[in-house]
Structures are given as C-alpha cells and as structure tokens.
Amino acid sequence: MRQTRRSWLKGTGVALFGTAVAGCSGAFEDDESGSTPDTDGDDQSTATATATETGSAGDKETATEPDPTDIAVVAEWNAIRTRLRDPVILGHGEEFAAGASVAADIFERFEKASGEHNAHETLEETNETYYAGFEEGLADLRGALEAEDLDGAHEAMHAADEHLRKAQGALAGSEAVKPLSMLVMGAHVADAALLASIGDFSDAAGEFTQIGIKFDEKGMGEMLAGADTEAAEAFTDAVDRAAAAAEDEDAAAVAEHAGAAFDAVTGGSYSLLPETVAGVAHLGAIQARGWDAAALASLGGPGTDFAHAATLATYRARVHDAAWLYERGHADAAKTRVENVFAHFEGARAHEALEDASEDAYHRFEDDGLGALTTAIDEDDADGVAETVETTDAALVEGVEALGSGVEPALLEAGYFKARVEDALERYRLGEGAVAAETVRGLFETFEANEADFHETLEETDESLYETFEEDHLDGLVTAFEESDDAAVEEHVTGIREALLSFETAVGSTAQVSAVESAYMSARVFDAGVLDVVGESERAASVVESTFAHFEAGAGGFHEALEAADHDRYESFEAALDGAADAAGEGGDVTERARAFDDEAIEATYAVVGAAGGSYSAEATAVVQDTFAHFEEARVHDMLEEADKGVYEEFETALDEYASALESGSDVDAAAERFGTAAVRAQFAVGGAPGAAPAGDSETGGEEPDLEGGPNVVEGVPDDADHVVEMRAVAFEPAELTVEQGDTVAWKHAAGEPHNVVAYADELPDGATYWASGGFESEDAAREGWENGQGAVQSGQSYVHTFETAGEHEYFCVPHEAAGMVGTVVVE
C-alpha cells in the first residue's frame, strides 16, 4: 500500500473525500452518484468503503490519504469526460466528420499520454475493465459519428463516460464523483453554446433545457444549494437565460449566459470539496473549456458531403479504366473493374449520401450505368459499352454537383481532367495516338460545355491561367498527339498538370485540394493496374513511383494536411502506396494493391476534410479569451501562482499563444496541445505534486518498450496474402473472416498502439498447429512473450499466417483483449 500523505493534507485530520459533501447523504441515488464502483471479474480496485475497512484497495489506495497525483489524474479524467460531449455536440450540429475527428483526437491524446502518472496508464492500473470499457466506448463514439449515427454516438459517449466516472470513484472515493460530475455538467453548458456559435440555435436551446432538467433530476441542484445557495441559483438562472437567448437566436447572449453558468458551477465547487481538490478540478474544467475552442476551430472547412463527392470522382476514373481494358481486349478484367466499383459503392459512405442528394443520379449510376455497362461487356457490345460509360459518367457528375457546393464541383472536375489527360498520355505511349487525341478532344468539348461549372470558374479565377490551360496546352496537346510529337506531348501534359494544380490551390482550401489530389492519385494507381494487365509492368511501376513522388512533393498541401489530420492514416496511406509500388516492381497483383490504396485514399480524404477548419476562428478565439478572463478572476489563479510560479507562467503563456494561434489560423493544433499539456502540469502543481506531472504527449506515446515481432511479422503486407485483416485501435476488421485451406491471411496494423495476434489454444480445430505472432508454440508462451515485448505488430507491419486445417480458429490481441479485440477465421 502506498503511503500518500502530503504537506497539503496536514492538519485536515479527515479523508480527502471521506466525508459526505454538503447537501448530500454520502450515498447518491442515481447514475451520477459515484456510488461504490463495481467489483466484477478481474477488477483491480475495490470500493472506497472496502478500502477503509481493510486498509487495501487493490492497486490503488482510495481511503484516508489519497495521493495528490491521483487527484490530478482524476481531474484529468474529468476534463476527458467533458471533452466526450464535444463530438456529440458537433453531431447535433450535423458536423459529423468534425465530431469524428475530435473523437479521434481525444483517443490519440489519451493513447499517447506519457509519464508515470498519466491518464492512460493510471486508468489501466486502477481497473482494467473500466480502462477497456472506456477505450471501446471512445472507439464506438468515433465510429458512430463516421456513420452519422447520432443515437449511437450518445450511447457510446455515455458508455465511455460511465467507465471514467467509476474509475474516479475507485481512485478518489465515491463522495468525489457527484461534485466532479457537476463540473462536467457545468462545462457542458459551454459545449451547448458551441451550437449557437455555428448557428444551430434550436439544438442549443434544447441542450440548455435538458441540462437544467438533469441538474435537478440528478440531485446536483439540491447538492449545490446545500453548500452555496447563491451559486445554485446563479447556475439555474444562467442556464434558463441561455436557453431563452438561443430561442431568440442571440449568439452573444448565449455565450454570456453560458459563461455565467460555468462561473457559478466552478465557484460553487469550492463549497463542496476541499479547496485544493476543488482547485485541481477547476483547472480540469478550464482545460476542457479550452478544448472547446479547438472543436469550434475544426469547423468551417468542407463538409462531409464534399468527401462523398470526392469518392464519386474516383469512380469516374475507374469506369473509364474499365472501358480502356475492354477496348484492349481484356473484357473479363474490364467487367471485374465495374463489379468492383459497384461493390465498393454498396459499402461506401457516399452510397446513402448520393441517394439522399439525388435519387435520379443514384439510380442512373447503379442501374442505367454500372448494371448496363456490365451487360454490354458481357455481350461484347462496343457501342453499348461506350454509351453506358457516358451514362455512368454523367450520373456521377450530377451526383458531384448535388453533393458539392460553391467551387467544389469545379475543383473535382479539374482533378478528373488531370486523370483523363494522364490516361491519354498512357494510350499515346502504347502507340494509340489517335485514341489519345480523341480523348483530349472530348475533354476540350466537355470544358467548353462548362461541365461542373469548371470553365467559368477557371476563367473567373485567373484569365491568364485559363488561357494557358485551354489555348496553350489542352488544344496544343491534341495536335501533339496527332503529330506524334513526343517533346510537345511532354510539354503540354506538364503544362496542364501545373495549370490545374495552380487552379486548385487558388480557389480551394487545403482540405479541398487534398480531396482532389487524393482522387487524382487513386486514379493514377488504378492506371498502373491497367498497364499491368496489358503487359506494361515497367510502365506500371513508373506510374506508381511518380505518384509517390507527387505526394512526397506536397501534392498541393495534401501530404502535410494528411499527416496533421491523422498520423496513423498518413502512415497507412503511404504503406498502401508503397505496397502498390512493390507489386508493380515485383510482378505482384497491381490491381488488388490499387484497390487497397484507393480505400486508404478515400479514408484519407474523410480524415483531412473532417479535420479542416477556418470559418469559426473568431468564435474559437473568443472562447479562449473568455477562458483566460475567467482564469484571471478565478480562485484557482492565485492558488496556481502560489503553488508554482514557473508552471503558472507556463500556463498563462500557453493560453495567450493559443488565442494568438486561433486568431491567426496558424499552428492551432500545436498550440492546443501545448495548452493541454500546460493545464495538466497546472493541475499537478495545485495538487501539490508539480514534479510528478506527466511530461506531455509525444509522437510515440512516450518512451515505448523495445518491441520485436518475430519470424512471422513483416514490413507492409506481402503480395501473396490472400486476405487482409486490419487491426484498428481495439478491433479486428473484419472480426470474422472465411477462407479456404491453404489461404494466407495478413493482419495489418492500421491504428492504435502495437497489437499482437494470438490464437486461443482451446478453440483451435483438432489437428491444427498453434499459431501466434512471434512464432510462439502455446497461448501461455504468447501471453508471456507479449509481456517481454515479443510478438508485437507495429505501425507499417503485418503478421502473416497460412491456414491448413479446416474449422474455426478463434484469436485475440493480448493488450486489447479486455476491450473485446477478438476475431475468428473460418477455414473451409
């Protein structure tokens, strides 16, 4: 048992949370009560009452003398609990992509926490069930928002919150939880004000009303009134006024009253908790308030519908590739291409979006387009193939126009033009100069017809650039193809690439340009697949290499934007592109690798679009400025300054720099991270343990132990893998896979911390050889090996196994087994 008395506890003579708070019996009746935590299964903690009676509480002491580091961590969990509301609030405002991005950011920050007393490690040590449940809930929150499932997002948020709340009770004592939950609710008032900031007054009013109701129903009003009547009345009045202001669509008044509610709750907490504890918790609430600004700043970029439109743009290029293969005499490969597009669309997020945006375009694409195109290929109807390609393309253009807004359809049209010019160039290199010329001539006619408003947008943006594109290069390329002038062809293709990229960056945001470039790169890698089929493997390799070089050169800001938006996705995107390059260079299945890369490219688009922002920088700046003003007048201000002058100055500097970054729109994410780290250090300083504060987040999650994979863990995904299972943060995708005897499965690290793959020994079919990453010969050895850093599959790696024995093979990931990371391979 740890001895935890600190100087700041001297003279109290009582447990930090050992007495009931004012206005409460000490045993709360509802789900926010913080009542004695569950002690089910392998929980590593016990209830406070048990700890008091026996002097032991598993891994953590929670009775009479809690550690200041524990109190700081409990406050950090409270900040996370408050942040969990942000993605859901964004979902209410129909900003689902932004909400999913915020959920991902919370998860990433939690996973990468470093230092001995960080929120991640302490939660896992306190109770493995709560830890696993929190991570699973957070992963489900992101997934629900990506699926635009608001009910599912609410359910997942509450699940994650409940596990953190129970952990707070286990670590700090049950009496702490209700006041902490009150602070979460107070900060949630500020969250609801975000809806008014983005013009969603109706949902804002509804949230304020619900907060008022829950504040009373959960006994928080009575609790606060028993300790500080003035604070309780001020909170209730402020929430009512905020609701009324939202109904009047007065955003400034909403912000003012939400701030007053926050002031009332944080001020009132000092009457409910010992001063030091209240101060630490107050800083956690201020931290959460600061993160609201980051959530608000993430809005204003292109919406999810634009990402859907970009997905449709990738289909345009793929359909033309199918026609190319058909014309070259590869009807089976052409048909497969069309079927693959259909299959992808059926499972894509863009599927329902297109149906909702334009039912006509949806049916023309699926039925009159893809379905008819498959039939035409089957019947070897060349005219029918050409006609249905046009029908399919027209339906997709209609869909892009229905889903995109402003300049977005024109931007995607520019990317399509680049892809089709590249197609023409490849046909020319294959000796099909007439076909290449006809392709570009068709583009010229499409441009003149102002499809997707591309012609007029380009001309209005920059008349000189317009003339360079159309007169100097597009028209000149037709002649160059007809005359077989290699030098002129190269000159005009390069000119078109440069002109269109200049147009993209001139009219589009970085996120919009990234989506266009992602679709263009996907089209190029699919071109490599076509070239491979027609026997041009060297050229296929060159195409993929040039695509990689384009990305590394920046791709209009796409490279940096993807890395900043989702580092794991950035790595998997590059790994997939590298896999396509390997397949092209080593005689592998380039088409299959192109499909894998296309999946990554589409997800990269959603990631960058979801993380984009820009229109609400003023509102976000105001949030941080108001937070700074609140801190300056708060009781905890002097407490922090007295506790540690250096940490105090660091915190104020971080707040100031955060506001400046939001105002300028530069380095916002980095400034937010610095603020978050400074807030955590402030929490530890006020708690009395400044030297124990975590060092801050790191790119690698702190100093990781030395890990090794073993003989069956490889870099990338092998070309001979018949199936790929992605290892996400706490899940295998797909969780169940059916294969044939002799098939090879690769488990690819796709997200989260390092994983491993371990078969359940008792669940293997009779006669099956035991299998696990690291090459272990038993489940016990594999579990022990993981503890020693063996059998790990890290970012960019895969575990590979070939199945020879029929039956069901059940398996799991050791570090994430408690979170439900299990899977099954059915061998037929």
Q: Supply the residues annotated as catalytic.
A: 755, 813, 816, 821
Distance CA 549, CA 25 (A): 67
Distance CA 189, CA 191 (A): 5
What angle in degrees, to the nearest 10, is found between the helix axes of 68-92 and 668-687? 140
CB 729 within 8 A of CB 751: yes
- Cα 39 to the center of its chain, rounded Å: 33
- Classify residue 364 by its DSSP letter: I
Element (H, E) at 825: strand 822-827
Distance CA 318, CA 378 (A): 18
Q: Which of 736, 734, 738, 715 is nearest to 795 (CA)?
A: 715
Q: Which of 185, 183, 77 is nearest to 124 (CA)?
A: 77
Burial of 828 (0-12, 13-18, 19+ CB in 10 A): exposed
Cα angle: 380, vertex 383, 388; to 5 degrees: 95
Q: Which amino acid is at 409?
A: P
Residues paired with 809 in a beta bridge: 825
Q: Which of 194, 110, 127 is nearest to 162 (CA)?
A: 127
Q: How far is CA 586 from CA 531, 532, 537, 579, in A?
A: 14, 11, 9, 10
Residues paired with 746 in a beta bridge: 724, 800
Pairing of strands 797-802, 744-749: antiparallel
CB 621 within 8 A of CB 293: yes
Pairing of strands 797-802, 736-739: unpaired
Q: How far is CA 48 from CA 175, 259, 350, 430, 471, in A?
A: 9, 35, 50, 77, 79
Element (H, E) at 744: strand 744-749
Distance CA 255, CA 196 (A): 8
Residues paired with 723 in a beta bridge: 745
Pairing of strands 758-759, 732-733: unpaired
Kindly state the tokens that stand for 648: 């105090």
Q: Which of 774, 765, 728, 727 is nearest to 746 (CA)?
A: 727
Cα angle: 81, vertex 83, 87; to 5 degrees: 120
Q: How far is CA 723 from CA 20, 110, 529, 589, 804, in A?
A: 58, 31, 19, 13, 15
Distance CA 183, CA 262 (A): 8
Distance CA 155, CA 143 (A): 12
Pairing of strands 723-727, 744-749: parallel
* Sheet strand arrangement including 797-802: 713-715, 797-802, 744-749, 723-727, 732-733
- Cα 140 to the center of its chain, rounded Å: 12
Classify the C-alpha dihedral 619-620-625-629 as positive or negative: positive
Residue 523 makes CB contacts below 8 A (sequence gap 6+) with 314, 317, 318, 419, 422
